[in-house]
Amino acid sequence: MNLNLNKAKMKSVYLTPAFFVMTLLLVVEFNGFSFAISAIQESQVTSDDDATALENGPMQKVAPPVMQILKMKFDLDRKVVFIDQKSWGELETPEFQNLAIGPPRRLMADPISKLFSSVRKSGGMRSSSTSVSGGRKTMKSAGADLSCEVSLAGDRFELRVDEVSDPGRTLDVRCAEGTRILLTGKNTLAMLNQTDVGIMGVLIDGEKVISDSASDYYVLSKKNPELHDKLSALFRHAGVDLPLAVSEPAVKRVALRMLGSLYSTDVTGLSKLIEQLDAAEFSTREEASKEIEALFPNFEGAILKKLESDELSIEARNRLKIIVKRTEDAQAGDRRAEDCVKANKLLDSTGYLIGLFEIADEQSRLILIRHLTKTTNQNFGDDSQKWQQWWRENKVD
């Protein structure tokens, strides 16, 4: 079966049953990238050489700011993946409006400005511009290796990054009433398309086509792990970190940490340490700060609540703010894992928690035993095999 892809143009993809038929006859030409599909058969996503090219391509030079811009989130109520735009607040300030008549001098802290700074520096910049017109804000940069364009208009967001040199990929992200992430390359297309109906993943690699849809991202990852893993790998090389699957080691580790925080009740000890932040001796204040920072994962809620109160002195408040910022930066990689734990309600899943015995340290095992005994009215102590056997026979989840 030969599919001619040169005349058709992909627009918005909606999650209808007809799409599954269309996938077999998929005809795609997107912004100048043509793809040839001669048959649908098994093949590998990338060869070793291709994988190396993806990892070392020009897009990798701007991957961190792209990830920072996208900040993929999971909406627990709507069960959709979306792009968090809260960190772009600086773009709404009068300073940004003034950029239309002057060079971008003041904007260097927000994620989009960091991206353009990186593109100009590492992409072999040949031209760069910023404009504001009719409520639409556009930033463009073109270079020998990379070009980039971002447009913002109300709730609509568009990002496009092109690799001018090999491996010659294009990352196109559009977020309005839904979110679509499209990565195109030589004989390759990877797409996630999310609307109010649900989410669809599509992967075209040479002669192989894989597609699937589901009500939300995590259902898709369970339903078609092959598609999930391959899309994740391809997007990651382009600077897009997709939400994690429940089986990821990071998710299991964070689930244990979050479970432990439910049983951290020694708030009295925490209060004493916070009082020591006002001690006359500098060494005492420093030691209290270190101990609070070590305890932060277990007492995050209590510490954040304390910061909201008016009881703290300026010294104590500043020290707690530093602790929160430093800890959040250190745990930045855990946020996607936390989203996964919350979205899938893993702390309420008896079967999932029993499976955590295999990675739990001594303290975590004690918490697991305590929690499982309390929630199941069973007590098999530290015998994980008996817990697993009981769960298989009862399937209480």
Q: What is the mean pLDDT of each run of 10 residues along the chain (397 residues)?
A: 34 38 34 31 43 73 83 77 68 46 48 81 82 87 90 86 91 89 92 90 91 90 90 88 86 88 72 89 90 77 82 89 79 77 90 93 87 92 93 76
- Residue in the structure block whose two tokens are 């599919």: 3
pTM: 0.65
In a 3-state reduction of DSSP, which class is residue 147?
strand
Burial 356-389 (b: 16+ CB within 10 A, else e): bbeebeeebbebbbebbeeebeeebeeebeebbe
The answer to whether the beta carbons of residues 67 and 240 sit under 8 Å apart is yes
DSSP code for 188: E
Q: Residue 172: what pLDDT? A: 94
Instruction: Give the residue from 239, 247, 148 showing the smallest Cα distance to 190.
Output: 239
Instruction: Give the residue from 143, 137, 82 showing the smallest Cα distance to 113.
Output: 137
Helix and strand element counts for the chain (H, E): 15, 13
Which amino acid is residue 374, in one-letter code?
K
Q: Residue 376: what pLDDT? A: 92
Bridge partners (DSSP) of residue 151 are 138, 158
Q: Residue 44: what pLDDT? A: 38
Bridge partners (DSSP) of residue 72 are 83
Q: In 238-281, which ranges are continuous DSSP H helix?
A: 249-262, 267-276
Q: Residue 331: what pLDDT? A: 66
Which amino acid is residue 73, in one-letter code?
K
Q: Residue 189: what pLDDT? A: 94
Q: Where are the domains of the chain?
A: 18-237, 267-332, 349-394
Cβ neighbour number for residue 162 with a 10 Å cutoff: 23
Q: Residue 231: what pLDDT? A: 92
- Which helix (H) or strand (E) element contains residue 387? helix 384-394
Q: How far apart are CA 388 and CA 7, in angstroms?
A: 56
